[in-house]
Amino acid sequence: ELADVPLEITGLSKRYAGSADRYAVRDVAFRVEKGQVLGLLGPNGAGKTTTLRMLMGLITPDAGEIRIFGHAVRPGAPVLSRVGAFVEGAGFLPHLSGRANLELYWRATGRPAGDAHVEEALEIADLGEALDRAVRTYSQGMRQRLAIAQAMLGLPDLLILDEPTNGLDPPQIREMREVMIRYAETGRTVIVSSHLLSEVEQSCSHLVVMDRGRLVQAGPVAEITGAGDSLLVGLAGE
**Interacting residue ranges for ligand ATP, rule: CB under 6 A:** 16, 19, 24, 42, 44-50, 195
Asked whether the beta carbons of 232 and 197 are under 8 A apart, the reply is yes
Neighbours of 202 (CB within 10 A): 12
- Least distance from ligand ATP to the Cβ atom of residue 44, Å: 4
DSSP state of 11: E
Strand order across the beta sheet in which 37-41 lies: 83-86, 158-161, 189-194, 37-41, 206-211, 214-220
- Least distance from ligand ATP to the Cβ atom of residue 235, Å: 11
- Least distance from ligand ATP to the Cβ atom of residue 23, Å: 8
> What is the dihedral sign for C-alpha 210, 215, 221, 225?
negative
35 vs 43 by CB, closer to ligand ATP: 43
102 vs 176 by CB, closer to ligand ATP: 176
157 vs 162 by CB, closer to ligand ATP: 162
- Least distance from ligand ATP to the Cβ atom of residue 238, Å: 10
* Alpha-carbon gap, residue 55 to 185, rounded angstroms: 22
34 vs 212 by CB, closer to ligand ATP: 212
Q: Three-state DSSP class for 78?
A: helix
